[in-house]
């Protein structure tokens, strides 16, 4: 059903995870020196690493700003190792910190456990059958789902489900993140306005709780735990399996970018586009985002080389003239049955938009290439030694009513006047109706604006 966007259903987000997100397990007792001597005598002790290499590998995160050394790192061979570790901690006479670590894409040390134990979830990948992704169909209701290990990367989930002609519907812009990691946060991208975040597309999970119990939970079974863990920032348990929604996968994507010099027109068009958002509405877009183009060199950056080289001079001329250009980015998925209707639907959509005449650029790419579009930029920066640098990323949620104030107060009066032009700025339009109402704090937030340096 289309949403009447006169209702405050549109938010801008910038996610800033500045709190320390660690699972502190153990009873409320005086702390003792760690590690307890008997930790290394347990049945799984051969998988507990205390050597300098293991410690150093778990002492930083993607933000590369905070550095904390754990006392030990667990290389689990099964979820039972995680159960045993947390149960030991819960029954131990002292307390210590345990943190699950996937790709460690936190920004301010949330994946660390100073003087505690890091659980290296990625080690489970080599111990899973069927590559940690099992595709099934509910015989009574007829829908497909995938049972996925919490340590699995979304790119591997995509590849495994695509072998069956299926794919998840909810994504992050970057796919080399673990399933457990994004479900512990929210899992947000340009698809979220229509399909909701990843936490709204989960049927069931296996979770290791702070008492060391492996519990299966769903909306109908242990529901309090289910809704607490989704978006719970790792504070309510460690996800070892998630049953996620999957649907028939499209084959290709019409990928379009349109440029604006007027922020009000830009946001008005974003609202217009996300108002058509039904999962079964053929006219709805599949992806809507936005970004700023500023005087920071050519408009192509590490995240995307979308713009043809022949168009860059005239785009840069626009940026020079206006200082900031707002880029509206949309995508429409299609397959063999819809390849002829999609261009007509897009043309009809363009008629109601207010982008600068002559500045609508289109690409046609495979579904896989579109979803994995950030990877090439990452590999390029890695080859240049520019990936492992500090990443002071800022993220916020803003209501529709304050978008214009944010543009004038931040984009115009700070960014433009002070010439702060390093790093991409992403703007996500969101639809509150597609967010789960129950659960942890992130369920009540709507995502949309990301500032990246």
Q: Could you tell me which of 269, 258, 210, 206 has the C-alpha nearest to residue 237?
A: 210
Token digits of residue 200: 């709204």
Distance CA 94, CA 71 (A): 15
Q: Please name the residue that has the structure tokens 């920032």.
A: 233
DSSP string, 116-181: SEEEEGGGGGGG-GGGGEEEEE-TTT--EEEEEETT-BHHHHHHHHHTTTEEES---S---SBHHH
What is the three-class DSSP state of 363?
strand
Q: Which of 125, 123, 121, 118 is nearest to 55 (CA)?
A: 118
Asked whether 132 and 152 are in contact (CB, 8 A), the reply is yes
C-beta of residue 94 within 8 angstroms of C-beta of residue 228: no
How many whole angstroms separate alpha carbon 129 and alpha carbon 152?
12
Residue with tokens 């894409």: 105
- Structure token pair of residue 381: 């920066």
Looking at residue 223, the DSSP 8-state letter turns out to be H
DSSP H helices, 13-78, are 52-57
DSSP 8-state secondary structure symbol assigned to residue 204: E
Strands 324-334 and 287-294: antiparallel
Collect all residues with Cβ–Cβ distance below 8 Å to 203 and sequence separation of at least 6. 145, 218, 219, 243, 244, 245
Question: What is the greatest pairwise CA distance in the chain?
Answer: 71
Residue pair 21/233 in contact (Cβ under 8 Å)? The answer is yes
Segment holding 370, helix H or strand E: helix 367-371
Q: Considering only CA atoms, which of 118, 109, 32 is closest in space to residue 67?
A: 109
Relative to beta strand 72-74, strand 117-120 is parallel
DSSP code at position 433: G
Nearest CA-CA partner of 321 in 416, 213, 420, 391: 416
Question: Hey, which residues are catalytic here?
Answer: 105, 173, 289
Question: CA geometry: angle at 242 spanning 239 and 247, to 5°?
Answer: 155
């Amino acid at each position: 059903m289309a949403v009447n966007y006169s209702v405050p259903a549109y938010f801008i987000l910038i996610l800033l995870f500045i709190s320390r997100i660690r699972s502190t397990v153990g009873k409320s007792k005086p702390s003792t020196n760690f590690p307890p001597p008997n930790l290394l005598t347990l049945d799984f002790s051969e998988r507990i690493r205390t050597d300098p290499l293991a410690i150093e590998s778990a002492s930083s995160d993607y933000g590369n700003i905070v550095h904390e050394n754990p006392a030990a790192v667990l290389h689990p061979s099964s979820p039972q190792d995680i159960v045993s570790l947390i149960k030991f901690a819960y029954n131990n006479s002292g307390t210590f910190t345990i943190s699950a670590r996937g790709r460690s894409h936190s920004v301010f040390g949330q994946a660390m456990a100073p003087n505690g134990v890091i659980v290296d979830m990625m080690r489970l990948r080599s111990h899973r059958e069927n590559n940690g992704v099992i595709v099934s169909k509910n015989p009574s209701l007829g829908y497909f789902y995938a049972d996925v290990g919490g340590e699995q990367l979304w790119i591997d989930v995509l590849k495994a489900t695509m072998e069956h002609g299926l794919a998840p519907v909810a994504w992050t812009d970057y796919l080399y993140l673990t399933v457990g990691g994004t479900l512990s946060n929210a899992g947000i991208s340009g698809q979220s306005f229509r399909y909701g975040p990843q936490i709204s597309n989960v049927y069931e999970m296996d979770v290791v709780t702070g008492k060391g119990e492996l519990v299966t939970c769903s909306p109908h079974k242990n529901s309090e735990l289910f809704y607490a863990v989704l978006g719970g920032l790792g504070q309510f348990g460690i996800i070892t399996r998630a049953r996620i929604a999957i649907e028939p996968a499209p084959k290709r994507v019409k990928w379009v970018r349109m440029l604006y010099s007027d922020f009000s027109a830009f946001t008005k068009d974003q609202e217009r586009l996300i108002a058509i958002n039904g999962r079964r509405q053929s006219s709805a877009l599949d992806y809507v985002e936005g970004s700023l183009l500023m005087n920071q060199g050519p408009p192509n950056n590490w995240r995307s080389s979308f713009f043809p080289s022949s168009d860059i001079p005239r785009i840069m001329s626009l940026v020079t003239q206006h200082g900031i250009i707002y880029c509206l980015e949309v995508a429409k998925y299609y397959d063999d049955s819809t390849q002829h209707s999609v261009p007509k639907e897009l043309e009809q959509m363009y008629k109601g938009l207010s982008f600068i005449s002559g500045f609508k650029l289109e690409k046609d790419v495979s579904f896989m290439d579109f979803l994995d579009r950030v990877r090439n930029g990452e590999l390029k920066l890695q080859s240049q030694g520019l990936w492992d640098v500090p990443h002071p990323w800022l993220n916020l949620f803003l209501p529709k009513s304050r978008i214009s104030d944010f543009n004038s107060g931040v984009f115009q009066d700070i960014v433009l006047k002070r010439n702060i032009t390093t790093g991409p700025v992403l703007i996500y339009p969101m639809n509150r109706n597609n967010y789960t109402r129950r659960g942890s704090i992130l369920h009540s937030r709507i995502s949309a604006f990301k500032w990246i340096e």
